[in-house]
Amino acid sequence: MPTLPEVQKLGELLKSYRRRGEASTGPRVSLQSAALSDVGLVRSNNEDSAYAGPALVAVADGVGGHAYGEVASSVAITTLSALDGDIAGDELVYTLANSVQAANERMGELIAERPELHGMGTTLTALLCSTGNRLAVAHIGDSRAYRLRDGALRQLTTDHTLVQSLVSAGSISAEEAATHPRRSLILRALDGRGAAHFDLSVLRVVPGDRYVVCSDGISDVLTDDEIAGKLGMGSPVDAVARLAVSALEAGSSDNLTCVVADAVEGRPEPSTSPVSVGAVADWHG
Ligand code: MN
Q: Is the Cβ–Cβ distance between 120 and 190 less than 8 Å?
A: no
Dist. CA 64 → ligand 1 center (Å): 7
Say if 126 falls within a structural domain.
yes
pLDDT at position 89 over 50: yes
DSSP H or E stretch at residue 199: strand 199-204
What is the full DSSP assignment across 52-71? E-SSEEEEEEBPTTSTTHHH
The alpha carbon of 85 and the centre of ligand 1 are apart by a number of angstroms equal to: 28
- Give me the mean pLDDT over the 116-132 stretch: 93
| 253 Cα: distance to centroid of ligand 1 (angstroms) | 9
The pLDDT-based confidence of 12 (bands split at 50, 70, 90) is low
Domain interval for residue 36: 4-158+189-282
Q: 217 CA to middle of ligand 1, Å?
A: 5
123-137, 164-178, 229-243, 258-272: which range is least confident on average? 258-272
> Ligand 1 centroid to 46 CA: how many Å?
9
* pLDDT score at 66: 52
Q: Please state, in angstroms and rounded to a whole number, the distance separating the CA atoms of residues 227 and 234.
A: 14
State the CATH number of the domain containing residue 12. Answer: 3.60.40.10
Domain-located, residue 75: yes
More confident residue, 29 or 148: 148
- Dist CA 189 CA 191 (whole Å): 6
* Rounded-to-integer distance, Cα 187 and Cα 159, Å: 9
Query: In a 3-state reduction of DSSP, which class is residue 217?
Result: helix
Q: Is the pLDDT of residue 1 over 60?
A: no
Burial zone of 282 (CB within 10 Å; 0-12 exposed, 13-18 middle, 19+ buried)? exposed
Cα 120 to averaged position of ligand 1 atoms, centre (Å): 14
CA dihedral 139, 69, 81, 133 (to 10 degrees): 20
Ligand 1 centroid to Cα of residue 223, in Å, is: 16
Using only C-alpha atoms, the chain has a radius of gyration, in whole angstroms, of 18
Q: On the CB side of 279, how many CA atoms lie within 13 Å of its CA?
A: 26
Distance CA 109, CA 75 (A): 11
Report the distance separating Cα 284 and Cα 195, nearest Å: 26
Average pLDDT, the chain: 90
Q: pLDDT digit string (tens) for 35-77?
A: 999 999 999 899 999 999 999 999 999 985 555 899 999 999 9
Q: How much distance in Å is there from the Cα of 268 to the middle of ligand 1?
A: 30
The lowest-confidence range among 10-24, 43-57, 109-123, 212-226 is: 10-24
Contact 190, 235 (CB under 8 A): no
Round to whole Å and give the CA distance between 221 and 209. 24
**What would the pLDDT profile of 20-32 be if each residue is shown by its tens digit?**
555 556 678 899 9
Is 172 inside a domain boundary?
no
pLDDT for 44 equals 87
Better-scored residue on pLDDT, 214 or 26: 214
Distance 220 CA to ligand 1 centre (A): 9
pLDDT band for position 6 (50/70/90)? Answer: low
CA distance 177 to 163: 6
Q: Which residue has the higher pLDDT, 178 or 162?
A: 162
Q: How many CB atoms are closer than 10 A to CB 51?
A: 28
Q: Which of 15-19, 132-136, 137-141, 201-205 has the lowest mean pLDDT?
A: 15-19
Q: How many domains does the chain have?
A: 1
- Chain centre to alpha carbon of residue 218: 13
Give the model's pLDDT for residue 266: 85
Residues with CB under 5 A from ligand 1 (ion): 61, 215-217, 254
